[in-house]
Chain A
Amino acid sequence: MAILLDNNTTVVIQGITGRTGQVAAKLMREYGTRVVAGVTPGKGGQEIEGVPVFNSVYEAKKKFPEINCSAVYVPPFATKDAVIEAVSNGIKLINVITEGVAINDTTQMLRYAKLHGARIVGPDSIGIMCPELCRIGVLGGIKEDADKIYKKGSIGIISRSGGMTNETAWVVRQADLGQSTVVGIGGDYILGTDYEDLLLMFEQDAETKGVVIFGEPGGIYEDKIAELVKQKKFTKPIAAFIAGKFADALPHGMNFGHAGALIENGRGSPAQKIKTLREAGVLIADMHDQLGNLIKGAING
């Protein structure tokens, strides 16, 4: 089995008539995802890639009560409402692909989802891929290309960088391993689903033998991995690559002043994240393309 998605995953695409929504509908169906409906207010009755369009999630669910997942492709200003609409209609898994959502909107929709027991992956997520089962989003592009990179297997992948998700799955594949579930958690400051949430799911997933992580500078999400491992709440091998080590040699970007220091307690730099993870027993790849062999050695050893 995989995490997040399964044989029953039935998807509505919110924002299906937009340019990226249309491409997503085509590619998701091509890969085998059960996309039964799309939503765009005012465009009910149309069809996109053979998928019926409804005016609201409520209307879509009346026709297809089995919908249990939403892929959100609406513009940033409409994202909060779209997510709350999905949650209000009982959808428990919402993958927000939209990039550039205002941070206050994000906190409000996450809070609302939490109150109603719904999970949000994103915003700014590249999507979720369960090889040979289905995908939310368009990881890997057209099926023919996706099949070169993604193959059902034993490695879970979590990436903050959308652009590096294929590449990370690819170095795993080059080590003759497949992937159980690949999740783009998004690069925003506030994440609906973080490493910790997914590691707890991967821990329970019998198919997953190890997890590969692509991390970035900033925030404390990577530090929580170390805590989880130390507390033995996650017991399978992890191999991680943290990008941005070179930044110390470059002009400094801005951070968040005293408040940033107070919140993060000095955490956040790649060097510090690597140190914390290493001390907890996480395998660190100095070079990104070592990730595949690192995790391979660990799950076989």
Chain B
Amino acid sequence: MRLYEYEAKELLKKYGIAVPQFMLVTAADGTSFSSQVIAKIQVLANGRGKAGGIKVCNSSSEATNFIKEKLNSFFLKEKVTSILIEKKENLNHEFYISIAYDTETESPILLLGKEGGVEVEQNRGVVRKAIDPIIGLREWQARDAAVDAGFDSKIIPKVSEFAVKLYNFFITEDCRLVEINPLADTDFGLVAVGALIELDDNAAYKHKERSYPPRVVGIGRELTQRELDVKKANEVDYRGTVSYLELDGDIGFLAAGGGGSMAAMDALMQHGGRPANYAEHSGDPPREKVCALTKAILSKPNLSGLWIVGAIANFTRIDHTMQGMIDAFVEVKPKFPIVVRRSGPYEKEGLQMLKEAAGQYRLDVEVHGSETTMTATAKTIAEKSKKFKETYGNLT
């Protein structure tokens, strides 16, 4: 989970890492500032600085205008619900420091640069040091990194001490990433002026005290009612997961598993199909959850087809998940073509159930098991959708 910058700074403060004085503004009314401030839009996306989300304000009215303009607007596809106002620090120099994980060395890695700022990824001066995950980062190693990065002797002890403090924070809080950019050298010591933190969701059980509100990837708009409905259905029951994201096309998409849904979506789009949504279920969700997901997909107006697809499952019972889908079909009675490719335990039973429901409720369903590949049925649904639109008109 990525933290908003104000959350990141609150957390850093607890570890004695200095951050600029700040306040969080969530409403434009009644704000005024006595000194020069920096206003920072609070979104999770990368590239905020380059996109104009950080503004140095020389007067109170400049800050107030910025807040009025940006609050509740969309910025980098995310809705802006808060703006961080920080006191502008008098800094002598800006450094770059981060700790992340590195697949090459299978370990945490320290990245240290003499010049911080928004263009840092182009900066060839950033030094990388792999950290032994059992021993941790020691000051001598941080000093070596600072030497390699060309830091002045005078500042090296301060920087290496900061690096170790940051590493201890990184480990104790189970971060995936901590990035301080810039790390400012001020008359009062090193200050974390920019902060980006990504927490390890797999370690959340160690941090029950945390109460960060849930967050969504920016999609440039508010969540639709259908997206909210599926989110709610997913949270009602802990077994299995269902997810739903609305897109612009007209073919309903219901896939099983992460890798499988990616491969299926690739195939659909390569065959010229335009997905109406991206929906996925995994981990053997109960019938009710699958039904709620299917209903959400079917409720989008002007669909020209529905594709239900999954790889050959090891465990997930095809008949169980199929029952949830049939529940939704019985209620909605879709008129457009449905193409199904499901395989795994109780495949025969599940597909037979669907065929019977199709007969009884006069649904246009084409059913495939493992004898047809996933991607082959992508072509089938794309063609059927096209034909449906030719017959009944393009409804979208």
Q: Residue on A with the closest CB to B116?
A: A258
With A101-B202, A246-B262, A287-B375 already in contact, the answer to whether A167 and B314 are too (CB < 8 A) is: no
> Are A221 and B132 in touch, CB under 8 angstroms?
no
**Residues of chain B within 8 A of A288, CB atoms compared:** 263, 266-267, 373-375
Measured in the bound complex, the distance between the Cα atoms of B107 and A191 in whole Å is: 11
> Are A170 and B312 in touch, CB under 8 angstroms?
yes
> Are A241 and B263 in touch, CB under 8 angstroms?
yes
Contact bitstring B234-273, A, C-beta under 8 A = 1, else 0 = 0000000000010100000000111110110111111000
Measured in the bound complex, the distance between the Cα atoms of B107 and A108 in whole Å is: 8
Of A85-93, A158-166, A199-207, A276-284, the segment with at least 4 beta carbons within 8 Å of chain B is A158-166
> Are A289 and B373 in touch, CB under 8 angstroms?
yes
Cβ distance A36 to chain B, nearest Cβ, rounded Å: 24
> Are A111 and B132 in touch, CB under 8 angstroms?
yes
Cβ distance B137 to chain A, nearest Cβ, rounded Å: 13
Q: Residue on B with the closest CB to A167?
A: B311
**Residues of chain A within 8 A of B258, CB atoms compared:** 161, 163, 187
Measured in the bound complex, the distance between the Cα atoms of B98 and A251 in whole Å is: 27
With A112-B134, A243-B259 already in contact, the answer to whether A260 and B45 are too (CB < 8 A) is: no
With A104-B171, A138-B315, A246-B265 already in contact, the answer to whether A160 and B259 are too (CB < 8 A) is: yes
Residue in A77, A187, A217, A244 with the greatest tally of chain B CB atoms within 10 Å:
A244
Of A42-50, A60-68, A140-148, the segment with at least 4 beta carbons within 8 Å of chain B is A140-148
**Residues of chain B within 8 A of A77, CB atoms compared:** 205
> Are B374 and A220 in touch, CB under 8 angstroms?
no
Of B14-22, B151-159, B172-180, the segment with at least 4 beta carbons within 8 Å of chain A is B172-180
**Residues of chain B within 8 A of A221, CB atoms compared:** 103
Pick from B44, B102, B344: contact of A263, CB under 8 Å? B102
Q: Does A219 contact B (CB under 8 A)?
A: yes
> Are B256 and A163 in touch, CB under 8 angstroms?
yes
Cβ distance B372 to chain A, nearest Cβ, rounded Å: 9
> Are A102 and B202 in touch, CB under 8 angstroms?
yes
Q: Residue on B with the closest CB to A107?
A: B133
Cβ distance A213 to chain B, nearest Cβ, rounded Å: 12
**Residues of chain A within 8 A of B268, CB atoms compared:** 246
> Are A187 and B259 in touch, CB under 8 angstroms?
yes
Cβ distance A243 to chain B, nearest Cβ, rounded Å: 4
Residues of chain B in range 30-78 having any CB-CB distance to chain A below 8 Å: 44-46, 77
With A100-B202, A288-B373 already in contact, the answer to whether A259 and B311 are too (CB < 8 A) is: no
Cβ distance B275 to chain A, nearest Cβ, rounded Å: 8
**Residues of chain B within 8 A of A256, CB atoms compared:** 100, 176-177, 198
Residue in A162, A163, A189 with the greatest tally of chain B CB atoms within 10 Å:
A163
Cβ distance B249 to chain A, nearest Cβ, rounded Å: 10
Pick from B46, B128, B206, B263: contact of A255, CB under 8 Å? B46
Residues of chain A in range 238-289 having any CB-CB distance to chain B below 8 Å: 241, 243-247, 249-263, 286-289
> Are B315 and A289 in touch, CB under 8 angstroms?
no
Pick from B133, B181, B219, B311: contact of A104, CB under 8 Å? B133
**Residues of chain A within 8 A of B265, CB atoms compared:** 246
Q: Does A190 contact B (CB under 8 A)?
A: yes
Cβ distance A144 to chain B, nearest Cβ, rounded Å: 10
Q: Residue on B with the closest CB to A100?
A: B202
Measured in the bound complex, the distance between the Cα atoms of B257 and A138 in whole Å is: 17
Q: Does B286 contact A (CB under 8 A)?
A: no
Pick from A105, A149, A289: contact of B375, CB under 8 Å? A289
> Are A261 and B121 in touch, CB under 8 angstroms?
yes
Cβ distance A68 to chain B, nearest Cβ, rounded Å: 23
Measured in the bound complex, the distance between the Cα atoms of B266 and A286 in whole Å is: 9
With A164-B257, A190-B103, A254-B2 already in contact, the answer to whether A246 and B266 are too (CB < 8 A) is: yes
Cβ distance B91 to chain A, nearest Cβ, rounded Å: 19
With A163-B311, A190-B101 already in contact, the answer to whether A259 and B262 are too (CB < 8 A) is: no
> Are A164 and B260 in touch, CB under 8 angstroms?
yes
Measured in the bound complex, the distance between the Cα atoms of B206 and A256 in whole Å is: 23
Cβ distance A234 to chain B, nearest Cβ, rounded Å: 18
**Residues of chain B within 8 A of A258, CB atoms compared:** 46, 96, 98, 120-121, 179, 181
Q: Residue on A with the closest CB to B247?
A: A250
Residue in B198, B259, B313 with the greatest tally of chain A CB atoms within 10 Å:
B259
A residues touching B (Cβ–Cβ < 8 Å)? 23, 76-77, 100-105, 107-108, 110-112, 114, 126, 138-142, 145, 148-149, 159-164, 166-167, 170-171, 174, 187, 189-192, 194, 214, 216-217, 219-221, 241, 243-247, 249-263, 286-289
Known A103-B176, A103-B200, A170-B373; 20 more pairs at CB < 8 Å: A110-B133, A111-B106, A139-B314, A140-B314, A141-B344, A145-B344, A162-B259, A163-B311, A167-B263, A217-B262, A219-B103, A220-B103, A241-B263, A252-B77, A256-B176, A258-B181, A263-B100, A263-B111, A263-B128, A288-B373
- What are 7 contact pairs spanning A and B, CB under 8 A? A103-B202, A170-B312, A214-B259, A245-B266, A250-B245, A259-B100, A262-B111
